Structure 1
């Protein structure tokens, strides 16, 4: 927490003074009658839901009575005592009656001075601090005793409620915007299928079903006026390279040449990529291969058939293929085809520890090809949709930045919310 002075009307307490810390338990997994009942049973992984009104786990009354699990009424704050990855130290606000396993502690306020929502936001902001408190000997984990000693600066309850109301409002905006983005992304999948199966007429509208003749190929159904070509009939399809071993030799890395990785491409989700997570020195560039701006980068190992369009010249390793589309055809259109073909290309990857495809899978890929003018119209429709998704993502980032900027100040009293503002 911040070292700033505590406001004079705030009090310093420990969680053990303000809350009952309730640890859970797990019924025997060898007795089927203990499981599949009607009693909600929370595991540590459920904390990632953050606001909990229900959980998938269920136990029976016999299972509850046979274990250390307790049925606890809301509101409580759940703290993951242990768990995989980033789970330990994660908190959630529980708004329903439930039980938990032994890897979750429920903090139930027992002092009227403490608001449960304020406690949730306070501990959520202190995630790293909670994890650090669990770094003891043996297996790292939190405990009820450790949580009881966690200090907390407590403003008057009315101020806690105003702080929680403001943060609730921001979180609501985050959830609503996230849902809009998810809906737009789902619509985008259907839109891409419609564009590649029906095309766009000269008026800029997707052709109505039944208004045109169709033809079928391995690439699907599409207007009969389109042609079908192999990918290597309209583009150079070349694999990247990096011939030096070991790959992490510092003499070959850290220079002025962007060196794209499969993760960089996957993160772009078909967008334009201008930065790479690694770079090459002059020695590294000499044993790699560069591709110009406008090239479609396609992953062929680990992540299969993820794509991005290069916004500048970049170097590729051998896990990435560059597709350079020849004019008058449009690279953006071909990228749509490649993204739509992802399930087919993934199916061609061997089911092994390191899944991959190769040039023999990409070069003969069938591409349904409208005339260049229609390619441009298809790209325009898809770009309008992509711009809408981008605008919502930027709005979401702005809300999260606003919350991050004010959170610490609110929870330490550096910024106060007057009652008249809250009302």
Structure 2
């Protein structure tokens, strides 16, 4: 027996539109038990300071169909057992119902999770609907729209349990539910593997970058080893660096220019000029999706036109980790100008991509975190601080070799990210086809 996807031609009308003849529509309350954490349970029993063995799932722990456990609170197991109605077991679903509405995920372990406020439990009746299929149904665009329609949209969006129970779910026969879930699981597994690989590649790149920018490469293209050959290194303001290297600073190594100060006089009228804003300058990448315009005369513009391989540095940001983020100007951005919350750095002799790597390095990021000032919630840096940043100087050949290694990792990461996006689009298409019955899963001999 093998399974194939077949375009369906036979449909019938239903409360949610056309569905296959042998499918049905039920409310979520008809095919699952739904409950939430009671107010008295939270008030009388929850004390996160106890840090128990059971994770209390909050809204922030549910993201894009999976659990995000990067920030957790927990309760003792004995408390979870006392509150059995709101405890979670394998096969249950959790869904957010206040604030961020409709985030849903599947529980795959017993006795590890418990409901927290603003998260509801959905326990499917396995004779009517399978957990993984129900997860896919609730994540679908159609179900998410129905959830939004059932919600109360005020300053704090909310979905009551009674309304959640009214959510209409499209149900194929159980065998087809299982096959649909298996197909989507296969794509999910590929997405998870690729996402994990991207994270590992980025971690490896970060660690390697630190080594490349402090140890450099010897004449054989290998990382110098400060443990095996301490005689090859010397003390410097940057710590131990290769003896052949020098230490300079930004003021010496770059021509620095500030961008246009925005205001009413810059509202585009007769001399419209496209310019880059802080939002266009990500770390290591210029994003050209949304380009604004300003007013500037030719004589004002000439000194602020961007050239290929110019560097742009962000001067102010609410997040201190984003201060000083740097990107290199690609060919597509040549001829644009830039706003005053960006500094343009033009290399005098350094390899621009080597300079980019250094200015985004952990050493420079730590420098900005130490020195940046805060005004009205905005962290800022100034020209004096920028000028004073130390810069390692190696030979041009070594800089090129270091950049080549970095570029190899960047290309691999970009390739995997493109593949990840392709998988996500593939899943969207499959969900649209399989969960509406436009395409059926058939078993053939």
With normalisation by structure 2, the TM-score equals 0.83
* Pick aligned residue for 2:356 from 335, 338, 345: 335
Residue pair 1:52, 1:95 contacting (<8 A) in 2 also? no
SS where residue 378 of structure 2 aligns? coil
Is 1:386 the counterpart of 2:410? The answer is: yes
Q: Is the 8 A contact 1:262 1:299 kept in 2?
A: yes
Contact 1:133 1:146 in 2 (8 A): yes
Unaligned runs of 5+ residues in structure 1 are none
CA–CA separation in structure 1 for the residues paired with 2:182 and 2:156: 38
Matches within 5 A, 1:276-295: 277-283=290-296, 289-295=304-310
CA contact 1:259–1:279 (8 Å) conserved in 2: yes
Residues in 2 aligned to 1:61 and 1:282: alpha-carbon distance in whole angstroms:
64
- Say if 2:184 and 2:430, in contact at 8 Å, map to a contact too: no
1:315 to 311, 317, 337: 337
Taking a change above 3 Å as real, the CA distance of residues 309 and 38 of structure 1, as seen in their structure-2 partners, is closer
Alignment of 1:178-189 (within 5 A): 178-189=195-206
In 1, Cα distance between the equivalents of 2:270 and 2:119?
A: 47
Structure 2 residue aligned with 1:239: 258
Structure 1 contact 33–63 (Cα < 8 Å) conserved: no
Match of 1:214? 233
Superposed counterparts of 1:12-411, under 5 Å: 12-25=25-38, 26-28=41-43, 35-48=50-63, 50-52=65-67, 56-60=72-76, 63=79, 70-83=86-99, 87-97=100-110, 98-110=113-125, 112-125=127-140, 126-136=143-153, 139-209=156-226, 210-211=228-229, 213-245=232-264, 249=267, 251=269, 257-266=273-282, 269-271=283-285, 273=286, 275=288, 277-283=290-296, 289-302=304-317, 303-311=322-330, 312-313=333-334, 314-327=336-349, 329-340=350-361, 341-352=364-375, 353-411=377-435
Distance in 2 separating the partners of 1:90 and 1:196 = 42
**Contact residue 242 and residue 316 of structure 1 kept, 8 A:** no
Distance 1:48 1:376, change over 3 A: same
8 Å CA contact 2:281, 2:287 repeated in 1: no
What 5-or-longer segments of structure 2 have no aligned partner? 1-13
Q: Distance in 1 between matches of 2:68 and 2:391?
A: 47
Q: Distance in 2 between matches of 1:222 and 1:183?
A: 27
Matched positions, count: 411
RMSD of aligned residue pairs (Cα, Å) = 3.1
Higher relative contact order (CA 8 A, sep 6+): 2
Paired with 1:285 and 1:124, the residues of 2 have a C-alpha distance of: 52
C-alpha contact (below 8 Å) 2:61/2:68 kept by paired residues: no
CA contact under 8 A between 1:20 and 1:109: conserved in structure 2? yes
C-alpha distance 90-75 of structure 1, shift in aligned 2 (>3 A)? same
CA distance in 1, matches of 2:97, 2:411: 42
Deviations 1:273-321 (A, max 9, x none): 3615232144498877332221011111113111111112232211111
Contact 2:137 2:170 in 1 (8 A): no
Q: What is the deviation of 1:92?
A: 0.9
1:403 CA drift (Å): 0.8
**SS across alignment from 2:43:** coil
Kindly state the Cα deviation for residue 221 of structure 1 after the two structures are TM-superposed: 2.1
Counterpart in 1 of 2:7? none
Aligned-partner Cα distance in 1 for 2:75–2:159? 25
Normalising by structure 1, report the TM-score.
Answer: 0.87
CA contact (8 A) 1:38 1:59 kept: yes
Deviations for 1:234-276, whole angstroms, at most 9, x for unmatched residues? 21012212242387x46599x5x4422223222xx313x3615
